Amino acid sequence: MEETERSHVDPRLPDAKRPPRVLERNIEALLEMRRRHLNERKIHDRVADRITGFVGSMSCVYLHALFFGLWILVNSKTPLVPAFMRFDPYPFVMLAMFASVEAIFLSTFVLISQNRQTHMAQKRDDLDLQINLLAEHEITSIITLIDAIAKRLDIPREEQHTAELKKDAAPEVVLESIERAEERHERETA
């Protein structure tokens, strides 16, 4: 049963080298979220991602270098190419127009992909915040419990410091404090 739960881990690894089950579970949850997100993309997002993926590769650079190089070679006044084959003489106005239109479309595809990735990053940030808030609450509860145990066992402790640590942090208060500090910093640097 343990091997089926840990099926994605190399079974030849000794137990000491295997990650903890909770880590594996978290990795699987993350991978499942990514798979689900990729499968839920609309067709235009898939197209934009494919185009952006190709445009961001060295294959695209080589293809463009070859294409533009041949265009310029064919349309230059060289003895290699007969005059009747030239269709866009120097200063290559058609090539410039073609490159401009291509740049417009490519930048749009890149922006579409970036917007989608930003949306996904915001979801991850929200998840991180929720987990951090939960962890902060759990730590506060543990501190309260340890303080009660220390009090019962008559162990000396720093009362004022412990009292501060036993307070749950209110996210809205923290955010307001950050905003006030940023505004103060902007006024001081302006």
pLDDT tens digits, one per residue of 116-136? 899 989 988 988 888 888 898
pLDDT range class, residue 26, cuts 50, 70, 90: confident
Distance CA 43, CA 39 (A): 10
Q: Of 15-24, 79-88, 113-122, 181-190, which range is least confident?
A: 15-24
Cβ atoms within 10 Å, residue 153: 7
Query: 138-169: per-residue pLDDT in tens?
Result: 999 999 999 999 889 998 888 777 888 888 87
Burial of 112 (0-12, 13-18, 19+ CB in 10 A): middle
User: How much is the pLDDT for 9?
Assistant: 66
Q: What is the pLDDT of residue 68?
A: 96
Same domain, 112 and 57: yes
Instruction: Give the whole-angstrom CA distance, residue 126 versus residue 141.
Output: 23
What pLDDT sits at residue 106?
94
CA gap 166, 140 in Å, rounded:
5
Provide the residue range defining the domain that includes 8. 1-40
Mean pLDDT in the chain?
87
79 and 171 fall within a common domain: yes
Task: Using the predicted structure, report yes or no on whether residue 5 has a pLDDT greater than 50.
Answer: no
CA–CA separation, 119 and 78 (whole Å): 52
Residues 66 and 26 in one domain: no
Say yes or no: 26 and 90 in one domain: no
Q: How many domains does the chain have?
A: 2
Residue with tokens 């994605």: 8
Do 57 and 69 lie in one domain? The reply is yes
Query: Is residue 86 domain-shared with residue 125, that is, in the same domain?
Result: yes
Per-residue pLDDT band at 44 (split at 50, 70, 90)? confident
Instruction: Please check whether residues 30 and 47 belong to one and the same domain.
Output: no
Q: What is the predicted pLDDT for the residue at 2?
A: 43
Q: Tell whether 24 and 118 lie within a shared domain.
A: no
